[in-house]
Structure 1
Amino acid sequence: MTITISEQAYRELFQEIQESDPSLALLDQKSGNFVGHDIIWRYPSRFGQGFVREISLRDGLDLAIANYQLHDDIISESSDFEHPLEYTFNIADGYQNSANTIPYHLYGSGVAPGECWKQFAKQRSMWVSVHIEPEVFQSFVGNTTEQVPEALQHLIGNPNQKYYVRPGQATQAMQSALQRILHCPYQGFTQRMFLEGKVWELMALLLEQEVETQQSKQTPTCLKPDDIERIHQAKAILLQRLNNPPSLKQLAQQVGLNECTLKRGFRQVFGTTAFSYLHHYRLEQAKQFLASGEMTVAQVAQSIGFARNYFTKAFCQKFGCTPGAYRKRHR
């Protein structure tokens, strides 16, 4: 069964739990009592099981950690709303794909357009998300956007315009910081100090990638003919190893390029990152396999190197229907 609900009504269900029985909705992790800066919202039993933990590290800086599983598919609808800076790491997706890479999204401040998004039943959702108000971000450099480096000014652009968003893959340094957040060894005052440090460490790592991304758009890498040939070789290797692709470091070693040249060069030659290209190709191949009707959904997922649940989610996001529905439609 699929449940369709507005984002506001979805949030109100959590509020109803708090009002009917605060012990079910708002718990301090150590004492079981309500505290304003560290709240655990238990999932309504009609939807699933698990929690979303919200930690206010300071005014304008909030950390959320989620771990839950739904009983039914949920379609949530939202209207336009004002959006702060944000980054979100989808940890469960990293566990479910063959390369064990953790995808993330970096958002600038601005207007988030209303959308309709789907969460799937029986699929574990684990994510870490950080919200940063623009003035908190600006406090590191001053009170005016002119003092923010030019390559980052789009992150705190016009609040009346659509926000900026960029997907990416977590580096090893990012994954290490995430694990420290998830397994924080401290409590109370020292916990907040520790978590805030890790939150800004992650932001610094993301901004490093963001500056690199913006600069590569403005000043394309000067590629030698031999480099271009090696980049095409790297693409061929990825397509030959759909169900077990090498890491970017391994791929660079195989074609004889350094990792930075391969990363920037691949974007310049093909207009996207190596693993975004691979992700797109895998799903296009899956669509062809499903249309032929010769393979089951599980077999298709295995052939392209995706776990079944992750495949369903990725396919639905790209094509607007489940793999099973697509296969049935074309049989």
Structure 2
Amino acid sequence: MPITLSQADYANWLDESTATATEGDMMAYPATLRKGKQRYVALREGIDLCIEDLWLNDDLEIQHCDRAHPLELTFEQVQCGGKSSQRYDFFGSGLAPAEVWRVPGQRRIVSVNVHIESFIFQQWIGDSSEDRQVLELLRPADQRYFECSGTPTAAMQMAVQAILHCPFQGLTQRLYLESKVWELMALLIEDLLTVSRECSLPALKPDDVERIHYASNLLRRQLTHPPSLIDLARAVGINDHKLKVGFRQVFGTTVFGYLHEHRMERSRQLLESGDLSVTEAAQAVGFASRGHFAAAFRRKYGVNPGVYARQRRA
């Protein structure tokens, strides 16, 4: 049976917890949620940050009614069954419809959630924004909000990790965290605008799609010493601009992002097999520095590569 919380149940727990906690403290979840903590930081009026680290034994349902909604950014790292995934959800202001959020159990969820009131965002963009997609983030309270989701880019992942491991306290902590919040907002908007621009591009010719798939095959075969963008474009017979734009249209990510994802997945497979050490696995996928590899592995899978390898051998 799933654990079911109404919106009022969740709000009451949050109100009680924040009333008794010092700002920035980690607050334990109700016992019904098993293990987990939440850290709430009011950066300033109109901007709230919440960091959660939750192990969910049972399926969870949270029932929401119609409600006015601020802008919201959510980044999640989910670990389940030895595998890890990441996603973001981006909501504008407006009307959030009645719905039931369902989260499967038997997983660890580490998340960064930010609420920004619409008046703060309006001050930020001013009155001169000509991008329709940006203005779509601000909708009236009787109109359903804008929403989108996707896989965080490498830059987004770095900003999220900076929030999770903020080294400061007090005023400097709030300044630092708010700067990272706006960095994430900028990256999300740029991603949104990039996708919009690419959607307006003419469809790729079948021959170009075939060449781009060939380029992806070359990258997967040359993880250790990948070609430069220009060399890759030459190898498949198209110019580098068409390769960059077309690669994102076909695979939904950049050439570098595609290469990085396959490097990390291959390194995970090598560590899981137990045949290579961490240093050897790093070198096998093109990392010259064990430290850089370990940091990239943690960002991707939420655990140090050495720990992951030992867990797989256990």
TM range (shorter): 0.5 to 0.7
Alignment of 1:234-273 (within 5 A): 256=236, 261=242, 264-265=245-246, 273=252
Alignment of 1:142-153 (within 5 A): 142=126, 144=127, 147=129, 149-153=131-135
Please give the root-mean-square deviation of Cα atoms over the aligned residues, in Å. 3.7
Distance verdict in 2 for CA 1:79–1:59, change over 3 Å = same
User: Which ranges in structure 2 are unaligned for 5 or more consecutive residues?
Assistant: 255-314
The structural deviation recorded for 1:108 is 1.3
Which residue in 1 is equivalent to 2:274? none
TM-score (norm 2): 0.66
CA contact (8 A) 1:83 1:112 kept: yes
User: d(CA) in 1 for partners of 2:138 and 2:18?
Assistant: 32
Alignment of 1:129-278 (within 5 A): 129-142=113-126, 144=127, 147=129, 149-217=131-199, 219-221=200-202, 223-231=204-212, 256=236, 261=242, 264-265=245-246, 273=252
The structural deviation recorded for 1:89 is 0.8
Amino acid at match of 1:59: E
Distance verdict in 2 for CA 1:169–1:121, change over 3 Å = closer
TM-score (norm 1): 0.63
CA contact (8 A) 2:66 2:98 kept: yes
Aligned identity (percent) is 38
Partner SS for 2:125? coil
User: d(CA) in 2 for partners of 1:263 and 1:162?
Assistant: 34
CA contact (8 A) 1:221 1:265 kept: no
Which residue in 2 is equivalent to 1:61? 47
Amino acid at match of 1:265: G
Which residue in 2 is equivalent to 1:91? 77
Distance verdict in 2 for CA 1:34–1:168, change over 3 Å = same
User: d(CA) in 1 for partners of 2:97 and 2:112?
Assistant: 22
Which residue, out of 115, 135, 143, partners 2:99? Answer: 115
Amino acid at match of 2:24: D
Which residue in 1 is equivalent to 2:65? 79
User: Which ranges in structure 1 are unaligned for 5 or more consecutive residues?
Assistant: 19-24, 28-32, 276-331
For 1:53-94, what per-residue CA distance to the aligned partner results, in whole angstroms no more than 9, with x for missing partners? 111111111111100112322222111111111111112269
User: d(CA) in 1 for partners of 2:141 and 2:198?
Assistant: 26
Distance verdict in 2 for CA 1:42–1:262, change over 3 Å = farther
Amino acid at match of 1:3: I
Which residue in 2 is equivalent to 1:34? 21
Partner SS for 1:216? helix
